[in-house]
Amino acid sequence: MSITTPDLPVVVIGAGPIGLAAAAHLAERGLDFVVLESGPAVAAAIDEWRHVKLFSPWRYDIDSAARRLLEQAGGWTEPDPDTLPTGGDLIDLYLAPLTKTPQLSDKIRYSSAVQAVTRVGFDRIRTAGREDAPFLVRLADGSELLASAVIDAAGTWRRPNVLGGSGIPAHGEDAAGAQIARALPDVLGRDRDRFAGRRTAVVGAGHSAATTLLDLGDLAEQVPGTEIVWVVRGADQARTYGGGDADELPARGALGSRLQNLVRTGQVELVSSFRIESVDRTGDGRLELVAGERRVVADTVVNSTGFRPDHAIVGELRLDLDPIMGSTRALAPLIDPNQHSCGTVPPHGVEELTHPEPGYYAVGAKSYGRAPTFLLATGFEQARSVVAALAGDWEAARDVQLDLPETGVCSSGLATGITGGLLTVLDDKPATAQSGCCN
């Protein structure tokens, strides 16, 4: 028996890979739904790093229900499963065509940022009759809609971690403003003038930092005077460099090997064990990162320290969050980066994602809280399991299975994810994930 209310839709927050996977499964199950995307077009977060190539080939990047809808619609050619897409490819060759299928084309509302989710007539305290009240979803423009259930695939891209080494902004960090760039800038393209012939400090020890450092290395070969400094909190970068030839995702292994070579040859200056306390301005307008008596000066700082989930919009719902990970308590021990790499996270679905608030589920990178071990394929299985439960098919909901590439380099003790997302990493731990980026 379905646990949704027949006359109200399921609201999916986020039109990225995981949100659209949930939509595809809802469509196949015959459940009414609406997808709310904060950006002006599909996968707006991914569009900000569309120049970045994923570590994962297409075989890991397409949801099963989404594939079926695309095949039914006709006119879609599935990309070569062994090639590596960029973020732009993911949108142009997969997600954008998916939004045009008959089942999804009129179900997505763009420029519809969610401001809050609650129950009609109920704050977090009231109990009696709570489960019978529909969800109330308020948008940033003040409009509201009712929902029978909410699948939150908002991701974490919009809430980056701070530079400060203690989890709060460093002194002066907020005032530094525009001189601090977001993760994964387009160093060789759109943002080239910002970095060419200038000194850049990249802060972070994950694969997003590595990607930016390699792009800066290429730029330095083209433009004299381009200087690169890599600032990390940890003392050992072995896990950032990864498994090399032993990595089951060769593109990721090559990334670490190339970065190690840049450091070894001095093209990248590595500053380790550096916990940023303040961000000051120098007399000539540059930024100075301060850690005790140590200083790093740069024209621009790239913040590649990862992302964290925003639970504020669901503050009036009853969530059972792990105090460390920020995921559900049931999921936390399965994704703990101290115990698991990306490829060793066990299969999990609706039972591990359930909160005390019936009908609300966070899926995708947001479901992992601050854990950096998230893979896109994991999010697809989460979405499938949750939708099966909403349809009342508990046998399918509980039959969760994953076939993931073992990496051996995702777990890290480094201080801290885009996705993020896909099999590219958007956090300050060397993990393959959607961190944050991906809805």
Token couple for 428: 């300050």
Nearest CA-CA partner of 428 in 236, 296, 233, 242: 233
Mean of the pLDDT values across residues 114-131?
Answer: 97
Fold for the domain defined by 173-300: FAD/NAD(P)-binding domain (3.50.50)
Residue 432 above 60 pLDDT? no
Mean of the pLDDT values across residues 128-140?
Answer: 97
The pLDDT of residue 436: 33
pLDDT category at 327 given cuts 50, 70, 90 is: very high
Q: What is the mean pLDDT of the chain?
A: 88
Residue 358 above 80 pLDDT? yes
pLDDT category at 97 given cuts 50, 70, 90 is: very high
Q: What angle do CA 433, 334, 43 make, to 5 degrees?
A: 30
**Which of these ranges, 188-202, 325-339, 357-371, 403-417, has the smallest mean pLDDT?**
403-417
In terms of pLDDT, which residue wins out, 175 or 438?
175
**Which of these ranges, 41-50, 95-104, 117-126, 405-414, has the smallest mean pLDDT?**
405-414
Unique residue bearing structure tokens 């996270």 = 345
Nearest CA-CA partner of 320 in 307, 332, 308: 332
| Range list for CATH 3.50.50.60 in the chain | 10-158+307-398, 173-300
Which range has the top average pLDDT, 118-132, 256-270, 324-338?
A: 118-132
Q: Classify domain 10-158+307-398 by CATH number.
A: 3.50.50.60
The pLDDT of residue 207: 79
Query: What is the C-alpha separation between 216 and 226, in angstroms, rounded?
Result: 8
Nearest CA-CA partner of 93 in 112, 74, 77: 77
Query: What is the C-alpha separation between 51 and 187, in angstroms, rounded?
Result: 9
pLDDT category at 151 given cuts 50, 70, 90 is: very high
Unique residue bearing structure tokens 């990496």 = 407
Q: What is the reported pTM?
A: 0.89
